[in-house]
Structure 1
Amino acid sequence: MSSPCYLAIDGGGTNTRARLADGSGRIIGEGLSGSSNLTLGIETAGTAIAAAGDIALKAAGLGERARAFVHAGLGLAGANVPALAEAIGGFAFGYRTVAVASDAVSACLGAHGGGDGGILILGTGSQGLALVGGKSTAVGGWGFAISDEASGAILGRAALRAAILAVDALCPASDLTRAILARFHDEPARAVLWAKSATPRDYGSFAPLVFERAGRDSVADFLIADAVRSIVAMLERLTFLGAPRIALMGGLAKPYRPFIPARYDKILVQAKGDAMDGALMLARQGADAAAVNSGVTG
Structure 2
Amino acid sequence: MSSSPPFVAVDLGKTRCRVLKAAGGSWERHDGPGAPGLANHGGVEDAFQSIDALLTRIDIPIAGIGVGAAGAWTAPHAAEKLARRLAAAAACPVVVASDVVTAHIGALGGGDGTLLIAGTGAAALGVGVDGVRLVDGWGPELGDFGGGSWIGREALRAVVRADAGLGAATSLTPQVAQQIGVPSAIPSWIASAAPLAQRLAALAPLVLDAAESGDLVARGIVDEAVRLLTASAVAAAPEGAVALHGGLTAHDWFRARLAASVAASDRVVAAAAGDALDGALLLVSRSDLPHERFAHRAE
How would you bin the TM-score normalised by the shorter chain? 0.7 to 0.9
The percentage of aligned residue pairs carrying the same residue is 34
**Contact persistence 2:11–2:67 (CA under 8 A):** yes
Aligned position for 1:281: 282
Q: Judge conservation of contact 2:125–2:233 (CA < 8 Å) in 1.
A: no
**Whose Rg is larger?**
1
Q: What's 1:119 paired with?
A: 115
The TM-score with structure 2 as length reference comes to 0.82
For residues 160-216 of structure 1, give each alpha carbon's deviation from its aligned partner in whole angstroms, at most 9, with x where no partner exists.
11111111211111223343345454x332222212116112112222222212252
Matched, 1:150 2:150: no
Aligned pair partner of 1:105 in 101, 114, 120: 101
TM-score, length of structure 1 as denominator length: 0.83
Counterpart residue identity of residue 66, structure 2: G
Matched, 1:171 2:167: yes
1:53 CA drift (Å):
2.4
Task: Identify which of 72, 83, 99 aligns with 2:77.
Answer: 83
Question: In structure 2, what is the equivalent of residue 44 of structure 1?
Answer: 46
Q: 1:264 to 1:189 in 2, by over 3 A?
A: same
Q: Could you say which residue in structure 2 is the equivalent of 1:74?
A: 67
What is the aligned-residue RMSD (CA, Å)?
2.6
Deviates more, 1:71-80 or 1:36-45: 36-45
Question: Residues 159 and 47 (structure 1 numbering): CA distance in 2 closer, same or farther, change over 3 Å?
Answer: closer
Q: Tell me which moved more, 245-254 or 204-213.
A: 204-213
Shift of 1:268: 1.1
Distance 2:81 2:58 in 1: 23
Provide Cα deviations, 1:117-172, integer angstroms capped at 9, x if missing partner: 21111111111111336953211011111110101111111111111111121111
Which ranges of structure 1 fall in alignment gaps of 5 or more residues? 58-62, 290-298
Residue correspondences, number: 275
Secondary structure of the residue aligned to 1:90 is helix
TM-aligned CA distance change 1:32 to 1:182, over 3 Å: closer
1:56 is matched with 58
Q: Distance in 1 between matches of 2:178 and 2:21?
A: 46
In structure 2, relative to structure 1, the CA distance for the partners of 1:182 and 1:78 (3 Å cut) is: closer
Report what 2:14 is aligned to: 13
Partner of 1:141: 137
Equivalent position of 2:205 in the other structure: 208
Q: Residue type of the partner of 1:282? A: L
CA contact 1:97–1:287 (8 Å) conserved in 2: no
Q: Which runs of 5+ in 2 are unaligned?
A: 293-299
Q: Secondary structure at the match of 2:111?
A: coil
